[in-house]
């Protein structure tokens, strides 16, 4: 295992219609780190994580996962190591039942039926939803759907978890459950979110993006408490750090 698990060097990405989404980004993420990526709408967050999974290949510059550069040849292999949790669980869970969905990945990896069964059980246990195994996906609550989405990524045994807006659609209780769950994982985590409080709790490091460039990169506690930096990037202090409380 290489020390740097993700390494971007002068990364650029331009959409086919000419939109410049990523404009020269360089960063290194080490094994076991959890990193929050924040920024206003259109800052390039989603584009960046789609690159980590090989859906968008770099226009120029390079992106390495472990020692492997992401390109047309390696992208299938890379997806095994990078588990992407989508923003909308209805896009991610496409099979009729929870079991089928979680089994989808392991079956593609060529596991035997017994291994698949075991894998499904273990992943569901990890997210605390074993009882949902035979339920159809459309009967689940949004919190449950989120947990199952994470389980179907875990079943692939990834090294890196990448999540797009994990707390969207969730009520407070489900959000809290999710935060506790994420804190338990020892994987390298990359979380893209508008929910700065979640990032503050789960991630030790934070990167701010604006117009496809890195504006700040450092300890989450430091960056997310700097009101000036946040304002410049159209962000706000996390609610837990806001002092001009209404009650005051």
Partner 1 sequence: MSFNQFEFFDLGYLDYLSYKDTFIHRIDPRAKLIVSLIFIITVISFPKYEISSLFIYFFFPIFLIAMADLPAKVIIKRIFIVSPFALMIGIFNPIIDRKVIITIYGLGITSGWISYFSIIIKFILTVSTGFILIATTSFPGICLALEKLKVPKVFVLQLMFIYRYIFVLGEEVVRTMRARELRSFGKKGYELSIAGNILGTLLLRTIDRSERIYQSMCSRGFTGNINLSKKINFTLTDLLYTLILSAMFIVLRFFSGSYAVGRMLLGKGS
Q: Residues interacting with partner 1, by CB under 8 A?
A: 50, 53, 55, 76, 79-80, 82-84, 86, 88, 90-97, 99-100, 103-105, 107-109, 113, 116, 135-139, 152-153, 156
| CB of 148 closer than 8 Å to CB of 132 | yes
Q: Give the residue with the Cβ less far from partner 1, 107 or 130.
A: 107
Measured CA distances, 162 to 6, 34, 83, 246, 247 (Å): 12, 10, 6, 35, 37
Minimum CB–partner distance for residue 64 and partner 1 (Å): 18
Q: Which of 177, 207, 176 is nearest to 191 (CA)?
A: 207
The CB-of-138 to partner 1 minimum distance in angstroms stands at: 4
CB of 115 to partner 1, least distance (A): 10
- Closest separation between CB of residue 6 and partner 1, Å? 16
| Closest residue by Cα to residue 190 from 155, 226, 156, 153 | 153
Query: For the chain, how long is the longest CA-to-CA vector?
Result: 61
Whose Cβ is closer to partner 1: residue 135's or residue 176's? 135
Query: Closer to partner 1 at the Cβ: 151 or 235?
Result: 151
Q: What is the distance between the alpha carbons of residues 163 and 189, in angstroms, rounded to a whole number?
A: 8
CB of 131 to partner 1, least distance (A): 14
E-strand stretches of the chain: 4-14, 20-30, 34-38, 60-65, 68-69, 82-85, 160-164, 188-192, 205-210, 213-219
Nearer to partner 1, 113 or 183 (CB): 113
Q: Which is nearer to partner 1, 155 or 193 (CB)?
A: 155
């Amino acid at each position: 295992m290489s020390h740097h698990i993700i390494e971007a060097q002068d990364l650029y990405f331009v959409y086919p219609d000419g939109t410049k989404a990523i404009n020269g980004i360089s960063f290194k993420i080490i094994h076991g780190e959890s990193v929050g990526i924040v920024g206003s709408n259109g800052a390039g967050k989603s584009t960046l994580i789609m690159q980590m999974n090989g859906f968008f290949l770099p226009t120029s510059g390079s992106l390495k996962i472990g020692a492997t550069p992401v390109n047309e040849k390696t992208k299938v292999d890379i997806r095994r190591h990078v588990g992407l949790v989508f923003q909308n669980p209805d896009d991610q869970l496409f099979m009729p039942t929870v079991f089928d969905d979680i089994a989808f990945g392991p079956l593609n990896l060529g596991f035997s039926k017994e291994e698949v069964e075991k894998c499904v059980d273990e992943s569901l246990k990890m997210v605390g939803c074993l009882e949902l195994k035979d339920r159809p996906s459309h009967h689940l609550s949004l919190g449950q759907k989120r947990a199952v989405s994470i389980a179907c990524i875990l079943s692939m045994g990834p090294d890196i978890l990448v999540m797009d807006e994990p707390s969207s659609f969730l009520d407070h209780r489900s959000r809290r459950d999710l935060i506790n769950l994420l804190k338990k994982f020892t994987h390298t985590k990359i979380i893209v979110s508008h929910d700065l409080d979640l990032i503050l709790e789960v991630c030790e490091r934070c990167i701010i993006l604006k117009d496809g460039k890195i504006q700040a990169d450092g300890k989450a506690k430091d960056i997310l408490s700097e009101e000036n930096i946040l304002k410049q990037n159209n962000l706000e202090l996390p609610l837990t750090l806001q002092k001009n409380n209404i009650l005051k």
